[in-house]
Amino acid sequence: MKGIILAGGTGSRLLPLTKMMNKHLIPIGKFPMIYYGIERLKEAGITELFIVIGSKSVPLYVDFIGSGQSLGVHVSFLIQEGAGGIAQALSLVEPFLAPNERFVVLLGDNLFHDSLKPYLQQFENQGDGEALVLLKKVKDAHRYGVPVLDEQEPERIIKIEEKPRKPKSSFCVTGIYMYDTAVFEHIRHISPSARGELEITDVNNAYASKGLLQYNILNGWWTDAGTYESLHAARIKLGRRGKR
C-alpha cells in the first residue's frame, strides 16, 4: 500500500510564521512537522510515499527529505499550484496508482500517537470501492467535520457536517483517510465550494450517501497543528526531543 501526505495550502492561520515557510516544515521538537507523518507511515510498513506540496518551499523539502532514503522511505513530490483544496491535491496522485489500488492519505498537519497498522487491516478487509476515515473524540467538535453515525450499522457514517453549530456527536473526522482509486471518480463529480476549492468532506459524503464510508476511532492523542494553540499542544505532546 502506498502513502500520500498532503502538505500544500497557505497556512493562513499560522501567519506571519508561514510567510517564511510552509507550515509543514515548522519545527516541532527535533524535526519539522512533516517528519511525523512520514514516521507513522513507515512504522505501519508503508515506505512508498507521495507528498503533495506547494511551490513555495520546494527547495526546503528537497533539502530535508530528498529521495527519502535517509528516512527509510522512497518519496516522490507532486506540486499543487494554488489553493485548490484537499480533494484537488489528492487528485494529482491518480496517474501514479494502479487501477483499484488502495492507499492511505494523511494531512501533513495531523499528528497522532496510534499505530496505523490495525486500521489498515480493517481497511484491507473492506469491500472494493469503500472508504475508511478515522475519528477522534474532542471537546470542540464544532471546529471540525463532525460525523453523524449510523446507529443501525455502528461502523458506518451517514454523513459529515462541516463545522456545525450544534454537533450531533462529540467526534471529529481527523485528516486520516483510506481509499482505493474509486475516490478519483468521486472527486470528478463534486463541485468547488464557496471558497472555490474541492473539499474532502464532499468526497467523503459521496461515499456516505451510498453506505460506503466506514470509520474507526483513534485511541491515543491527536492534534491538527494548524493553529498556534494546537501547534503548542503538539510540541508539549511530542516533547523537546521530538519523541511521540
Q: How confident is the model at residue 51 (pLDDT cuts 50, 70, 90)?
A: very high
Domains of the chain with bracketed CATH: 2-239 (3.90.550.10)
Give the tens place of pLDDT for each residue, 57-111: 888 899 999 999 999 999 999 999 877 899 999 999 999 999 999 999 999 999 9
> Could you tell me if 34 and 5 are in contact, meaning their C-beta atoms sit under 8 angstroms apart?
yes
Cα–Cα dist 56/19, whole Å: 10
26 bridge partner residues = none
- pTM of whole model > 0.85? yes
pLDDT higher than 50, residue 242 = no
Cα–Cα dist 20/10, whole Å: 11
Which whole-number Å values give the CA distances from 218 to 113, 118, 201, 203, 225, in the listed order?
Answer: 9, 11, 19, 21, 17
